[in-house]
Structure 1
Amino acid sequence: MTHTARRMFELLEPICLVTYFADECNQELAALGHRTYWDGYFASRAAPLGRVPAEVVHAAFYSFAEGEAARHIPSAWETIPPEASVAARERGSAASLRRILGAEAAGSPGVARAADLTTKAATSASTAGRFMYAGMRGLPVPEDPVARLWHSATMLREHRADGHIAALLGARIGGTEAHVLSALDMGIHPPESFGRIQHLPKDRLAAVMDGLRERGLVDAEGRFTDAGRATKRRIEALTDELAAPPYEALPPEELDELVAQLEPLTETLVAAGSQ
């Protein structure tokens, strides 16, 4: 099932990415009063966990720099209830999907069937040890097919992310280190320039890179060594293995049907950059 998990990740990820790359979600969150993109991001993604402190959000999100969650949590919830942020994220994401896919495709029986099958998979797995996935499972599943497809794809994304954290922990890769390795895997150099870890003090970033060098995962120039690439491959392989259980709920014929329904949708979203 690990091959299935990887294929489903490839097909479902573009559905989830509209939340972060398309305009509608950001506009919905801004309309609530979230001042910045990152206020909306942290507030809406963490909201299914409830009003937990920044330390819990940092642990659940894992790869953000120390102190980054505290820049947004709990202040992002002081005047905007978490439930409102969750609803705005769903509305905006579904609106993005409808716009990118077009009215005919978004209203098609294929989208409805893809939503049904994705939901069947997304609601079938154990929540044990899966904090973000468990939070998403606690939310009501939307009735609208487009919103339901996004919601269930996001559930599966969080299920996978929880497993990815377990794989990183097993490899003794910390959150900031994981961010660096992901940057290198995407061809970004210097990796310290990627994403939100650049807010860390320079001495802290230098210590992270020195630790990766001491372990032989990056070289003197801050690029992957062979051992670093092998470590990253092992983590991804275990992530696929841990992401497989939801798809065991679908018999082979339903898996094949889901792939067939998702492929043209994903092709359209990828062509648009999920924007």
Structure 2
Amino acid sequence: MTETKPSGALARRLYGLNEPIALVPYAAPEPTAEVMALGYRNYWDTYFAGRAAPLGRVPAEVVHAIFYNFADGEVARHIPHVWDIATPEAVLAARERGCAAAVRRILADQAESPGVARAADLATKAATGAPIEGRALFAGLRTLPVPDEPVARLWHAANLLREHRGDGHVAALVSEGIGGLESHALHAVSQGMPAEKFGRIHHLPPATLAEVAEGMRARGLIDDAGRITEIGRETKERIESLTDDLAAPAYATLTPTELDQLIADLEPLAAAFDAVGSE
């Protein structure tokens, strides 16, 4: 049976089961298509509109601060422009429709199973009982109504838990003095990949990438060849460990029996999403 007090290790395990579901709006075609149908011009319009909509019509600077890991000016290419095309409320409704459709397609026959309804209920209980203090994006999501339909509720809960963890991850990065672009670079080099080849930053100007690398070298996070150092690896491990610890309180409202049930119900669902890359 799962331990009484949720730990960082348990939060990491549940992250592995929850994340494939929560990735649907960024990987599956249905959510993008639904939001694009409102009149948007490209995927990144739908990304910023869909993810920032719970915050309302806030300035680009606020979205940049909360999202944390975009280069200067990238958010401003989309915010506030996206709100001249559709309201946050319309975007949220379209995103939910698209995500529910994608989840239903991926799960196929499992979509109507008792396990989906149980997982949706238990994940919702965890997500709506999680602390909101210091978690701006999660707090915005908490103001949204919980869908009645089990498939839509499953995705909604997964999204809540993902952004709760994400807000905690930003706090962990800040505590270690790792900036948004550095977070991408540190992740890349920890995987043995040259930072400048990583998908989220490879498009940036060489001068920007060089500045990020120079700052990381000055702190001993990478060596002269751009490889992660022991200091860099220890820093990355502290960030991930603190992220897990900060995510754990989301599961404190569930009993050990409920946690075991949530894990058991999520495992086959996560496997279905992993099999198709959440697409």
State whether TM-score is above 0.5: yes
Distance, in Å, in 2 between the alignment partners of 1:101 and 1:222 is: 41
Matches within 5 A, 1:38-77: 38-77=44-83
Paired residue type of 1:84:
A
Q: 1:235 aligns with which of 239, 251, 257?
A: 239
Matches within 5 A, 1:90-105: 90-102=96-108, 104-105=109-110
Q: CA contact under 8 A between 2:107 and 2:272: conserved in structure 1?
A: yes
Tell whether 2:273 aligns with 1:263: no
- Which residue of the partner structure matches residue 35 of structure 2? 29
Could you list the runs of 5+ residues in structure 2 that have no partner in the other structure? 1-6
Paired residue type of 1:39:
D
Tell whether 2:226 aligns with 1:222: yes
Q: CA contact under 8 A between 2:192 and 2:227: conserved in structure 1?
A: no
Q: 2:140 aligns with which of 120, 123, 135?
A: 135
Q: CA contact under 8 A between 1:101 and 1:268: conserved in structure 2?
A: yes
CA deviation vs aligned residue, 1:165-206 (integer Å, no higher than 9, x gap) = 1100100111111121122234432x1232343454322221
- CA separation of 1:195/1:77 partners in 2, compared to 1, >3 Å: closer, same or farther? farther
Larger mean CA deviation between 195-204 and 116-125 belongs to: 195-204
Larger mean CA deviation between 198-207 and 162-171 belongs to: 198-207
- CA separation of 1:187/1:97 partners in 2, compared to 1, >3 Å: closer, same or farther? farther
Q: CA contact under 8 A between 1:115 and 1:148: conserved in structure 2?
A: yes
Tell whether 2:84 aligns with 1:82: no
Distance, in Å, in 2 between the alignment partners of 1:43 and 1:18 is: 15
Q: 1:114 aligns with which of 100, 119, 122?
A: 119
After superposition, the CA RMSD in angstroms is: 1.1
Paired residue type of 1:251:
T
Post-superposition offset of 1:119: 0.2
Q: 2:12 aligns with which of 6, 18, 24?
A: 6
Q: 2:21 aligns with which of 10, 15, 21?
A: 15
Q: CA contact under 8 A between 1:65 and 1:199: conserved in structure 2?
A: no
Could you list the runs of 5+ residues in structure 1 that have no partner in the other structure? none
CA deviation vs aligned residue, 1:222-249 (integer Å, no higher than 9, x gap) = 1211111111011000000000001011
Tell whether 2:248 aligns with 1:244: yes
Paired residue type of 1:115:
A
Distance, in Å, in 2 between the alignment partners of 1:260 and 1:11 is: 10
Distance, in Å, in 2 between the alignment partners of 1:147 and 1:221 is: 47
Q: 2:181 aligns with which of 176, 180, 194?
A: 176
Post-superposition offset of 1:87: 1.3
Q: Helix, strand or coil for the counterpart of 2:260?
A: helix
Taking structure 1 as the reference length, the TM-score comes to 0.96
Paired residue type of 1:206:
A
Distance, in Å, in 1 between the alignment partners of 2:57 and 2:122 is: 31
Taking structure 2 as the reference length, the TM-score comes to 0.95
Distance, in Å, in 2 between the alignment partners of 1:241 and 1:155 is: 17
Q: CA contact under 8 A between 1:122 and 1:156: conserved in structure 2?
A: yes
Tell whether 2:152 aligns with 1:147: yes
Post-superposition offset of 1:217: 0.4
Paired residue type of 1:174:
G
Paired residue type of 2:76:
A
Paired residue type of 1:261:
D
Q: CA contact under 8 A between 1:118 and 1:152: conserved in structure 2?
A: yes
Paired residue type of 2:218:
E
Q: Helix, strand or coil for the counterpart of 1:195?
A: coil
